[in-house]
Chain A
Amino acid sequence: MSLVTILQHLLTGVSLGGAYALIAIGYTMVYGILRLINFAHGEIFMIAGYLMVFSMASFPWYIAIPIVLIGTVVIGVVIERVAYKPLRSAPRMSVMISAIGVSYLLQNLATYLFTGLPRGYPEIPFLKKIFQFGSLSASFVTFLTPVLTILLVILLLYIINNTKIGMAMRAVAKDYETAEIMGIQINSVVSITFAIGSLLAGVGSILYFTDRMSVNPFSGSLPGLKCFVAAVLGGIGSIPGAVVGGFILGLGETFLVALGYSTFSDAFTFGLLIVMLLVRPTGLFGEKATEKV
């Protein structure tokens, strides 16, 4: 394998990893706050894809993107209000089952509304612009994804560590009941957590689908599962962990395919999950993380 080929693979892997990382953050944040694995997160990602298809049909991209992001946030928060909030005092298992229910509901709703046929994802002109460095060639979105991911994570960490709402989130993550006694509005903190998670899923969806150009009702389920693995790999509850986990998966999958083992690219992801849970159940960053969000 020549150097150019390796660099090209590296670029693909980092770009895929960036998209994974953005979605994985949503899993890890919700888990940090509510101790809930939000199985509907992959479906929110898919719905964001459909939102883009429809909003790009009637608006230019600079209006369509905000519509998609706002729409995704609204859907994420509404799901929390309708399906998770009434179960706040119920056993954790009930909430998780409710999450699985929402996930299937969204999949089947999308199949019913948009049919099972894949829809072409609209092209955002500047994202698809192709750059060439010698024989290395990729579209702008491939370069943008990892950079944007890192920037958003830095911003997110700043919010969590330096703002009032960030402090409230950390408090709720640490001890839910005590935080409530101290006068923290649990409901608004949870809503904001879901809003941030959905927002990042929306951004991830734009980057992911721009590179892959088609959306169907099930296009959220496998990436969703993989990002959940990424979150566990990095240590669920830890944001840097989710990001690192996302990049590990993206690079690992790409290089396995590159080496000719495309059959095993999914097996790699889930094999990694099993090994991680056996060897180090808390994940790469789980143990020493003092903050849960």
Chain B
Amino acid sequence: MKKIISLFLLMVVFTAMLTSVAFAADEEITIGVFEPFTGENGGGGFQEVLGVRYANEIYPTIEVGGTTYKINLFEVDNKSDKTEAVTAAQSLVSKGVVAVVGSYGSGVSIAAGEIFAEAQIPAMGASCTNPQVTFGNDYYFRVAFLDPFQGTVMANYAIQNGATKAAVITQLGDDYSSGLGSFFVTAFTKLAGEGAVVAQEQFQTNQTDFKAILTNIKALEPDVIFAPSSIVTAPLLIKQARELGITATIMGGDTWENVTIIENAGADSEGVVLSTFFDEAEPATAEAESFVTGFKEYLVANNQPDVIPAVSALGYDAYLAVLTAIKNADSVDPNAIRDALVTTEFDGVTGHISFDENGDADKNMAFIKVVEGGQFKFLQTVTIAE
């Protein structure tokens, strides 16, 4: 009896699989969304996905060669983990997506880059800022600025505000954090002289206790602490630093522009400085203006605070970039889309976007923000010529 039941179940599963294949209509294409929903970057990844989903809602179809294609999103969770990222990327490839958007977090993007390149599927990074993501990979593009730029911006800002000694805290084995940290160190040393970076400390993934590191730093009395890290780590680090009586300005990278940091760190987050891609108070393009109003409603409908995270704007732009490339290529073939991306130019939410020979967006402007009165306050834009 048991055998018959299990045989029957097996049959049901098989028929279900067959019919699902049979139902796949011709006038549909799928764009893969490669993002972390869980793990240390789960919160930020989700915000990026919201941007992509919203873009899909605004532009649900595309006309190629006279046929209207419906665009489906296929979302996979890379779990903020480099090993899982490879599995997730493979599942996108086997799903037959025409292009990929993502990911939040540079490490997972680097890990998956080779798989996309091998399968010849173009990938459009949204907020991954490490140079290695696109470098030497013809299929990876991105709409964000890069860490060498961001590190230089933060070092410049620190020095303009009178800092002479800096401490850097980075996450061991995290490409984003250690990369950005070392670019900051290079820039700061160049500007303030040898030995201006008084401490470079590292911590491990999922570490929650930073007191030992911070105690060491406190003894060296730096003016600023630069700690690019995930939004899970940031509030813990900020709180523990203030608890130990550290008064130095704490600075972070683009990941820190996230209200959960203010929610979790509370009053201790006051005065934290960070650089980011986007400011909703100053829409740069016409696309941005309609995005700001529309996306706020979308956020509220999804039970999120109505503050637009920069990564959502980038997710939206990444989707738009792929869409524009498909239009320009007039084809849904992944290779044709890739070739079109090289010359694609469009007005996104975060500014005018075109791609250089590495596939990176030509961007030379960052927004510096500070936490004030429980909100991110726009401070200044920094433009640095290459």
Q: A residues touching B (Cβ–Cβ < 8 Å)?
A: 1-2, 4-5, 8-9, 12, 16, 111, 115-118, 120, 123, 130, 132, 135, 137-139, 211-214, 216, 218-219, 222, 254-255, 257-258, 260, 262-263, 265-266
26 residue pairs of the A-B complex, CB under 8 angstroms, read A1-B216, A8-B244, A9-B212, A9-B215, A12-B212, A111-B38, A115-B38, A115-B42, A116-B37, A120-B260, A130-B245, A137-B244, A138-B243, A139-B243, A211-B209, A213-B239, A214-B264, A216-B232, A219-B208, A254-B209, A255-B212, A258-B213, A262-B172, A262-B201, A263-B172, A265-B204
Check if B209 sits within 8 Å of A12, measured CB to CB: yes
**Closest B residue by C-beta to A4:** B219
Q: Is B73 an interface residue (CB 8 A)?
A: no
Check if A212 sits within 8 Å of B236, measured CB to CB: yes
Check if B245 sits within 8 Å of A117, measured CB to CB: no
Check if A135 sits within 8 Å of B245, measured CB to CB: yes
**Closest B residue by C-beta to A219:** B208
Check if B213 sits within 8 Å of A257, measured CB to CB: yes
Whole-angstrom CA separation of A132 from B172 in the bound complex: 31
Check if A214 sits within 8 Å of B236, measured CB to CB: yes
With a cutoff of 8 Å between Cβ atoms, the chain A residues found around residue B374 in the complex are none
B357 to chain A, nearest CB (A): 37
Q: Lowest 3 A-B CB distances belong to which pairs?
A: A116-B38, A137-B245, A257-B212
With a cutoff of 8 Å between Cβ atoms, the chain A residues found around residue B42 in the complex are 115-117
Whole-angstrom CA separation of A170 from B43 in the bound complex: 49
Whole-angstrom CA separation of A251 from B297 in the bound complex: 51
- Pick from A214, A218, A222 the residue with the most CB of B within 10 Å: A214
B210-266 residues with Cβ-Cβ distance < 8 A to A are: 211-213, 215-216, 218-219, 232, 235-236, 239, 243-245, 260, 263-264, 266
With a cutoff of 8 Å between Cβ atoms, the chain B residues found around residue A216 in the complex are 232
- Pick from A1, A117, A130, A211 the residue with the most CB of B within 10 Å: A117
With a cutoff of 8 Å between Cβ atoms, the chain A residues found around residue B46 in the complex are 117
Q: Is B39 an interface residue (CB 8 A)?
A: yes
A20 to chain B, nearest CB (A): 12
With a cutoff of 8 Å between Cβ atoms, the chain A residues found around residue B266 in the complex are 123
Q: Is B83 an interface residue (CB 8 A)?
A: no
Check if A2 sits within 8 Å of B236, measured CB to CB: no
With a cutoff of 8 Å between Cβ atoms, the chain B residues found around residue A263 in the complex are 172, 202, 204
Whole-angstrom CA separation of A5 from B202 in the bound complex: 18
Q: B residues touching A (Cβ–Cβ < 8 Å)?
A: 37-40, 42-43, 46, 79, 172, 201-204, 206-209, 211-213, 215-216, 218-219, 232, 235-236, 239, 243-245, 260, 263-264, 266
Whole-angstrom CA separation of A260 from B235 in the bound complex: 22
**Closest B residue by C-beta to A141:** B243
Check if B208 sits within 8 Å of A116, measured CB to CB: no
Among A5, A214, A222, A265, the residue within 8 A (CB) of B215 is: A5
Check if B245 sits within 8 Å of A213, measured CB to CB: no
Check if A118 sits within 8 Å of B232, measured CB to CB: yes
A219 to chain B, nearest CB (A): 7
Check if B235 sits within 8 Å of A120, measured CB to CB: yes
Whole-angstrom CA separation of A32 from B328 in the bound complex: 72
With a cutoff of 8 Å between Cβ atoms, the chain B residues found around residue A254 in the complex are 209, 211-212
With a cutoff of 8 Å between Cβ atoms, the chain A residues found around residue B245 in the complex are 130, 132, 135, 137
With a cutoff of 8 Å between Cβ atoms, the chain B residues found around residue A8 in the complex are 211, 215, 218, 244
Whole-angstrom CA separation of A213 from B37 in the bound complex: 21
With a cutoff of 8 Å between Cβ atoms, the chain A residues found around residue B212 in the complex are 9, 12, 254-255, 257-258, 262
Whole-angstrom CA separation of A8 from B244 in the bound complex: 9
Check if B243 sits within 8 Å of A5, measured CB to CB: no
**Closest B residue by C-beta to A255:** B212
Check if A213 sits within 8 Å of B244, measured CB to CB: no
B310 to chain A, nearest CB (A): 19
B48 to chain A, nearest CB (A): 14
Whole-angstrom CA separation of A1 from B46 in the bound complex: 43
A221 to chain B, nearest CB (A): 10
Check if B203 sits within 8 Å of A16, measured CB to CB: no
With a cutoff of 8 Å between Cβ atoms, the chain B residues found around residue A137 in the complex are 243-245
Among A117, A135, A219, the residue within 8 A (CB) of B38 is: A117
Whole-angstrom CA separation of A135 from B235 in the bound complex: 23
Whole-angstrom CA separation of A241 from B37 in the bound complex: 41
Contacts A118-B232, A258-B215; A213 near B264 (Cβ below 8 A): yes
**Closest A residue by C-beta to B216:** A258
Whole-angstrom CA separation of A262 from B173 in the bound complex: 12
B212 to chain A, nearest CB (A): 4
Whole-angstrom CA separation of A137 from B243 in the bound complex: 7
B377 to chain A, nearest CB (A): 22
B75 to chain A, nearest CB (A): 15
With a cutoff of 8 Å between Cβ atoms, the chain A residues found around residue B204 in the complex are 262-263, 265-266
Whole-angstrom CA separation of A111 from B37 in the bound complex: 12
**Closest B residue by C-beta to A258:** B212
Check if A213 sits within 8 Å of B219, measured CB to CB: no
**Closest B residue by C-beta to A216:** B232
Whole-angstrom CA separation of A218 from B79 in the bound complex: 13
B246 to chain A, nearest CB (A): 9
With a cutoff of 8 Å between Cβ atoms, the chain B residues found around residue A265 in the complex are 204
With a cutoff of 8 Å between Cβ atoms, the chain B residues found around residue A138 in the complex are 243-244
